[in-house]
Amino acid sequence: GESVGLHLPTLSVQEGDNSIINCAYSNSASDYFIWYKQESGKGPQFIIDIRSNMDKRQGQRVTVLLNKTVKHLSLQIAATQPGDSAVYFCAVTTDSWGKFQFGAGTQVVVTP
């Protein structure tokens, strides 16, 4: 079956620095990927997505990179702010309605 993992459970980053959160997936048939941010007491918030026919996608202060060769996904946050402190999840699907496989999550802690 498919497994999704995150490389670091906790990422501590200084305010203003760039953050990089990584995610590995195992199923090469995975074709759609989403990054979510979850703050305490809230549901996951959609950040950015990417489809398997792309390598890179940029949003506001965020960039997602997809390397299908090594089955690796990353989220880059530019100029990290205190409001970016949260748990970040990657979600992966293989052409399957509504069924995403989620990573364990990375806790991002932004320090002043």
Partner 1 sequence: KAGVTQTPRYLIKTRGQQVTLSCSPISGHRSVSWYQQTPGQGLQFLFEYFSETQRNKGNFPGRFSGRQFSNSRSEMNVSTLELGDSALYLCASSKGTVGGEAFFGQGTRLTVV
Q: Which is nearer to partner 1, 97 or 112 (CB)?
A: 97
Q: How far is the CB of 88 from partner 1 (least distance, A)?
A: 12
Q: How far is the CB of 99 from partner 1 (least distance, A)?
A: 5
Residue 99 CA, chain-centre distance (Å), reads 17
With 0-12 CB in 10 A as exposed, 13-18 as middle and 19+ as buried, what is 71?
A: middle
Q: How far is the CB of 81 from partner 1 (least distance, A)?
A: 22
Residues 6 or more apart in contact with residue 19 via CB below 8 angstroms: 11, 13, 75, 76, 77, 80, 84, 108
The binding site for partner 1 (CB under 8 A) comprises 31-32, 34, 36, 41-46, 49, 51, 89, 91, 93, 95-105
3-state helix, strand, coil in the chain (%, to 5): 5, 55, 45
Q: Which is nearer to partner 1, 34 or 77 (CB)?
A: 34
Q: Which is nearer to partner 1, 15 or 39 (CB)?
A: 39
Q: How far is the CB of 83 from partner 1 (least distance, A)?
A: 18
Q: Which is nearer to partner 1, 41 or 112 (CB)?
A: 41
